[in-house]
Structure 1
């Protein structure tokens, strides 16, 4: 979404009836203006908004369907595009570049999950050439984000009965196969960086010539890496990671962090709206509390609800936006940070009984009730619930979209795990 200049907050629609696949459309302020000097392409992708005359919706190319319960299920793409590290990529373009190489007889490119369960590119080829040489050749014609993280040589491509490549039968790549011949760090900073990369990227050993992005890195993991580096007393300009994606190349640009620390005292009081927040309240939606995002975490060995509450309270103190409330005063909605007080958030604990199918129904019903209980005027905008089952505990974290987005979740969950373990 960021790559096509959308707003952070938007409405997602599938105009088809429940159970019938349709194309996802996005409505919201801040949409891209269109394709420059290509009015026909603009008309194809930016269609009139049937709910608000004069405004436009964007056809995403994603196939989805509603369930009877109002859940939106992602089915895939209309085309062969995938989203890697925030970039929309047409897989056939990579396949075409591989087939341009004389040594490649056949090629197919698909997506796989890396060690942190993020999508990454993998290419399967029939060739006599070394895969590292193929990767170097692709670097001359494709941007880094389109170069497959793994190129796997096969004797033949598995085929389905109707003559298409059987993607499910392709072998899983060796997640650590992208590492170059190991070379140990040469000083304390390189040693620190190797340790941070191993942790962030989920690999067992990183050498100073390993490529950050070929090991499954992306811009969000880069932010996490830079944050941990800063905590250790060093700093790096994030854009340099894209220019110098190995530790050996990056080392000359790492500097000692300034010893001055920013004021970390709690923020309180009224804050002006961002444009997209203003748009949200101008729409006057009937179910404003349901503009939330949620995750469900599983803990097979159980959770201590007292610690969960303590951790969430500390996160709400540290991340001031999580204490936002939106009361109506003198006929207008205002945005205000709640004061730090006892019992900032309560954790509901529910014992879930019965057969597995019954447990699933109970959890879905209770999860909807938790999300519906968010009060914008009174807060908190963070709603947790622990579901105890025979398979362990499940922690639901529902947070209103006014104060969190897809990028924030990674930081929030990393902080949550670190505090809980401590």
Structure 2
């Protein structure tokens, strides 16, 4: 809104101290002149508050008795260069919390948008601490009217999707109606006060000396008599100043070093202690607390299924017990007794080996930890001297049959779900440890964990250290992520998958796909060592894309040749161990099936470089690498693309560890070779095309299985390899185009300068407000650029436009 000054009025933009502000600065509007009233009828207090002595009254006006008072409007404005006043909002709806200026109306709008909330109001109130002499602090409280009770935690989770943390009210309270004055305005004084005392019904007492001392500190700082270990610091009235005082008190009273970030992220004493223990596991803390209460306990009981596990039980009603992952660890010749002892310790350490599955009803399953398993008694340990199979062509077939038999007896309900074998008799003093595990309890990241831990145990390590987060903890964390992100990610995913069914139909009908679930064809492609090295090391830098983007671009061209369409879809598999906002969650060394599956659109252009940029942009749009798809959309009602693509990464011998034993190198690393049939023939699934790749021994290999004809399967593989070779060949002549160049388009939010200077990107916000939120959303997607961030974009444009207009007049 733009205002013009009338002749009878004097308008000033001022600070709280009534100092007039310069052009462009934001201040509160005060009105003087003959149009100003004498005051409010029968409201002397409000009159005194709003009608103030005019510090800008001239001597002439004083002699005439005019313009003696100005009216405090509460409106925020700023002068423009053309003499107009730009209205920016209300001052009484803006408050400062934790040093940040907040618009209360934005919070009210989000709170009112929650389903079931009819109306809401948000206020900033003073919290006077009960047992301290410290000054009061501001806090946010939201009042809402609804037909039914709404859980406060659900409301906060919803608001956290829309707003930054500092705009989330400390407390939310349901009321019958919004009180108003006789004039129809909000009667803030009639709203109930918030009780910041701890929740007695859910009070949790401290469990050790450390927690006792922290509860005392919390109580002193917050001014609350009784604080439990599960009480939220900010819910009890805490703020940024209070967090600083807590950090200081902990350092002074306990001589422990923590940060303000710890207080903000670990809002309860229980969570705070866990964080402190993980960072500062020293003798001082051990004396203050029972450290075992912060370590992951041996997992037991029912564990929620991850979305990928739910997908498995929906898709595989037959052959489900033989759906495995098998892998080989290259080793020197090993002592078998010592190996068996190491395996028992390994299996006892990793809880995934104890997982079992139970059927409830016709199709539903749940998983649980079976603590009754006696590992030394049931260890499925096998041994084979491969030299006994001979050197004939049949020896390969015999080895595959033996390893297939070892892993064909799994039972997901009764166990076992894993088998282990020791293979020796190879040339050059080599041996192999063979693992087969049902896919429900393992993924390819787990292979590395098992390989490393088994080597450490065999080499004499007494233990593997403190366990990370359990599979069950992660499962619940993923469920929580889906709840928090459902509102924002649901729209993205549903827009993406709306054409997937049509894509699947065309893929099956027009490409010779077999209707039989058992009729499949398979082939593979391999890049030699030189090609692989160039693709992994040179090409990402040359094209400005990561390896996944390059692989998917090449595969997109192969699909385009197959389907005739430049837009196709694939189901992408990821490792699933993403950062989903819980710093206390550590699954870096947890064995289990964490895989995510989510749809991705591949759009191909005639120009290779532009196609690479298209794929890169499409992948960057995927929210948090697809981890929310299975929880938010799920795999039951929405079909995934019937083309799956999974690149498992590099499995290199270079990561092996050496130690000396009689002068010989002892090497432990994952290797390729014959592992037996990992799946029953009838367990291929619904995919028309399945592509699985990895890099091992310096070579990249992709296995392609499909329901296409043999010729079409081979054609798809050859097209894929040919385009990968094109990418490798053209790497030195490639020049990434400037993806974003809006320097001449003022309707867009970016300006890119110094385009030839190593991809520096200058970012400016789309308007006068919302810059912080805008930057937080966009910056994580621009990791390949050096960023320079500006503010006040449109304000600068207005100045430029006015300068142009001024020059044109002359």
Indicate whether the TM-score tops 0.5. Answer: no
| Greater C-alpha Rg | 2
TM-score (norm 1): 0.44
